[in-house]
A and B are shown apart, each in its own frame.
Chain A
Amino acid sequence: MSATTLEYKGSDQYRVDMRWLQRALEQDLSSKEASKSPLQLGSEQVQVGDIFTINGKLSVSELTLQNSASTLDYVGTGLASGRALFVEGDCGHYLGHQLGGGRLVCNGSALHYAGCNMQSGSIEIMSDAGDYVGGSVPGNKRGMAGGRLLIHGNSGDFTGDLMRRGLLMVAGNIGNHCANRMIAGTITSMGSVGENAGNGMRRGTLLCPSKPASLATGFNDCGRHSLGFLTLLMRDIRKPESAFQALHPMRRRVQRYLGDASVDGQGEILIWIG
């Protein structure tokens, strides 16, 4: 079955809400029906077909979004298990919001809230991502709840805010306030981590090669340890093709910091040593 392409032919003048695609897939609409779906563009209401060209059936498992731009928000929202969406170009905010088991690959960069509230599945961003990666939309109490979010570039501030479960991998650097209010799950980086890491962290793991620029004040130094679970985690981390494959599969020695004590938390910040 050949992949279906959706080509964006609009301008950068307005932001586009891509949740029309989620509705089309859930309602099993034909390409023709989807093209006639209403779409709000600024103050004007248009049809999807006015700014997208759909080639092929939407019922196929693989879709490709061509000519994507950073004005396209909510790309891949709720993408269900068994479906894959390949994005050629950049994406706007809320990439992979509430992802439901599907596979989402963006070969550009994404703006804020990428992978927020994702439930399961995988998101791969070939370049950078903005703030609140794997976080939660304002008002929700829990962020990313499962799956794998892999960023080959850098991520912004508040990476993993309120993260509940899953694996968040950043091959580059992470901004400030990483693992803020983190509930559980794993964040790992191959680069640096900014200021105030782990603030309000309750559980979960932040695993990185060097100590963050600063830790939240409620962290205690627990010393150096060889932790067995890291071997299991390493197998998962090294699965996709990424910079993380440079890590030795049996690496397990870390400096451990436990906190944030200000919220009676038992989150951990682990720094590779040895």
Chain B
Amino acid sequence: MNINGVFIEDTFAEAFPMRATRVIITGINYKWARHAAETMTGFATSVIGCKVEAGIERELGNHETPDGRPGIAVLLFATDRKTLEAQLQARIGQCVLTCPTTAVFAGLEGEGQIALGKNLRYFGDGYQTSKQVDNHRYWRIPVMDGEFLCEETTGYQTAIGGGNLLVFARSLSQVLLACEAAIDAMSMLPNIILPFPGGGVRSGSKVGSKYKTLNASTNHPYCPTLKGLPDNVLDKNVEAVMEIVIDGLNVEDLTLAMRRGIEAICDLGKAQGIEKITGGNYGGKLGPHHFHLREIMGGDKT
């Protein structure tokens, strides 16, 4: 399959089940809500090293937040419920509770509930009070700018992590331009995040290493400086490869995000130096979710 001269490889991106939650952070204005959201989603690129993958989903208008203030929706993904809960509490405690004027609310009904303010309330040292409004329990913790308001629990659900695209281009600037276009298009969509810095990944990894202590190492077949070596798969004219990793709440959202991403890249086309798009997989051994690129783009999978 070729779209605007860009070769879409007949392969699939392999993704795996995760547990996800959404929280809504509000503040006196977007500036402070965003400070909290950016801080709590920092160091959350990959579950391998960070335990959790997190990102800002979108900005919320005053009419969309429980307390009628500007807000930010944040999604967090982890491999299991327990880790998700632990990471959520640690990040809310250190990054949102501490951030002036903010409050935090549940953003998902979900399959079950995990603690949000349930344990954080003890920071109140006995001066915390709860208020039940419309079957939701909130905690009010006295802090130096007034009260930190947080909902007791938030919902979590089964989700999908590790959806991906690999983009091959004739130069670094061209692959960056293409990925930025794809990231911009995908960032408009709800229910997904791109957890890596700016949405792009340059250090794609393979499973295993020659060093026994490492369980992942650089994806050397895709490194352009190693072109010509036996394992390297890059053509002569490819000078840079970039990956975009996508986590989503369900298959439909992730599929749509990948489609929008591929469309944005292909709009630039071969004329802008884009050679190929492929997907990262481990032969189907890593996870049950296989996103066939050609099927996503309306072709047949093989």
The interface of chain A, by Cβ under 8 A from chain B, is: 165, 184, 186, 203, 205, 225-229, 231-233, 235-236, 249-250, 266, 268
Contacts and interface: CB of A to CB of B under 8 A. Distances in A.
B66 A232 contact: yes
Contacts of B134: 232, 235-236
B132 A229 contact: no
Interface in B136-152: 136, 138, 140, 146-147, 149
Contact of A231 (B68, B146, B147): B68
Given A228-B147, A266-B129, 4 more contacts: A227-B146, A228-B146, A232-B131, A249-B68
B242 to A, nearest CB: 42
Contact of A229 (B69, B127, B131): B131
A160 to B, nearest CB: 15
A229 B138 contact: yes
B67 interface: yes
B103 interface: yes
Interface string B97-141: 000000100000000000000000000000101111110101010
A165 to B, nearest CB: 6
A266 B127 contact: yes
A228 B67 contact: yes
Nearest to B148: A228
A228 B67 CA distance: 7
A107 to B, nearest CB: 26
A232 B139 CA distance: 12
Interface of B is mostly: strand
B67 A227 contact: no
Contacts of A186: 131
Contacts of B136: 232
B101 to A, nearest CB: 9
B63 to A, nearest CB: 11
A233 B149 CA distance: 12
Interface residues of B, number: 18
Contacts of A225: 146-147
A235 B140 CA distance: 17
Given A227-B146, A227-B147, A229-B149, A250 B131 contact: no
Contacts of B147: 225, 227-229
Contacts of B68: 231, 249-250
Contacts of B138: 229, 232
19 contacts: A165-B132, A203-B129, A226-B146, A227-B146, A227-B147, A228-B147, A229-B131, A229-B138, A229-B147, A232-B133, A232-B134, A232-B138, A232-B149, A235-B133, A236-B133, A236-B134, A249-B68, A250-B68, A268-B129
Interface string B33-75: 0000000000000000000000000000000001111000000
A228 B149 contact: yes
Contacts of A231: 66-69
Contacts of B131: 186, 205, 229, 232-233
A237 to B, nearest CB: 9
A231 B146 CA distance: 15
Residue from A203, A231, A266, A268 whose CB has the most chain B CB atoms within 10 Å: A231
B219 to A, nearest CB: 47
Contacts of A226: 146
Nearest to A146: B132
A225 B145 CA distance: 10
Nearest to B102: A228
Given A227-B146, A227-B147, A233 B133 contact: yes
